[in-house]
A and B are shown apart, each in its own frame.
Chain A
C-alpha cells in the first residue's frame, strides 16, 4: 500500500527524493508532515533541507538586480505604439 513516502510506483522514496519533492514545492500536505517528522530523526536531511531553504531565500533576496532601466521600458512602449496602425 503506497503511503506518502512512496512514489506513485510504490517505490520507497530516498531522502534525496523527498528533499527534492519538498524543494520543488509539490509535496502533498501529508508528504510535508512526514518529511518534517523525518527531519527530527535524520540529521543529514535536516542540515541539507535548512541549507537549501536558506540558499533559496538568499538567492531570491540577493540576485534580483535593480530592475529594467526606465529608458528601456519607455523605448519598448514607444516602439510598440509606433507599430500599431493609426
Chain B
C-alpha cells in the first residue's frame, strides 16, 4: 500500500488545484459516469459526488500528479459503492467466474472475426457506441479507460484495483466481445444492403 503524504494546501491553493487540475476532466468524467449508469440524473449525481469527494480529500492529492486517474478511481469506487448496490438490475456476471475462465488459455486465442475494416468504417451511426454499451459493465469499463481515455495498463490497474495481468486479459476479452457484437451489426447491415 502506498504511503499517503498529506499535502498542506492553503485554501487558495485548494481552489487552484481544483479548478486547474480537476475541472478540466469533467467531460471525460461525465461520459464515464453516463456509460456506467445510462441515466442522466445518476450520471450528474455521480460526477457531483466524485468532485465533492475529491475536494474533501484534496490533501491526499499531490499537485501535478495524475489527477485524471485519481478522479476516475474515485468515480469508479462511488459507482460500485453507491450506485451498483442500489441498482435493481442484478449483476449479470459472476466476476470471479469470468476472471477464472478468461485467465485460462482462452485469453491466448486470437479471434480473427469475420469483421472487416471496411464494415467498421461504414458504421457511421450509433453502432459503435451501442455495441460498447451492450457489454457488461466490467468489460465496458476497460474499453472506456483504455481506448477512449487513453489510460495506460498500469494506471488502469490502479483505478480498478486489479493486477496488470487482469487488466490485459479483461481488455483482450472485452475487445473480442465488442468485435463479436460489431460482426452481428455488420451482418445486419449486409442483409439490408442486399
Residues on A lying within 8 angstroms of B by beta carbon are 14-16, 19-20, 24-26, 44, 47-48, 50-52, 54-56, 58-60, 62-65, 67-69, 72-73, 75-77, 79-81, 83-85
State which residues 123-145 of B face A: CB under 8 Å. Answer: 123, 126, 128-129, 132, 143-144
> For chains A and B in complex, what number of residue pairs have CB atoms within 8 angstroms?
105
Question: In the complex, which of the residues A15, A60, A79 contacts B52, with contact meaning CB atoms closer than 8 Å?
Answer: A79
| Complex-state Cα separation, A77 to B52, whole angstroms | 10
**Apart from the given pairs A16-B108, A63-B31, A72-B44, 11 other A-B contacts in the complex at a CB distance below 8 Å:** A14-B108, A51-B116, A54-B117, A54-B120, A55-B175, A56-B147, A58-B121, A68-B27, A72-B30, A73-B23, A76-B51
- The answer to whether B112 touches A48, judged by C-beta atoms less than 8 angstroms apart, is yes
- The answer to whether A75 touches B55, judged by C-beta atoms less than 8 angstroms apart, is no
Q: Nearest CB to that of B15 among chain A residues?
A: A84
Residues on B lying within 8 angstroms of A by beta carbon are 11, 14-15, 18, 23, 26-27, 29-31, 34-35, 40, 44, 47-48, 51-52, 55, 108, 110, 112, 115-117, 120-121, 123, 126, 128-129, 132, 143-144, 147-148, 152-153, 168, 172, 175, 178-179, 182
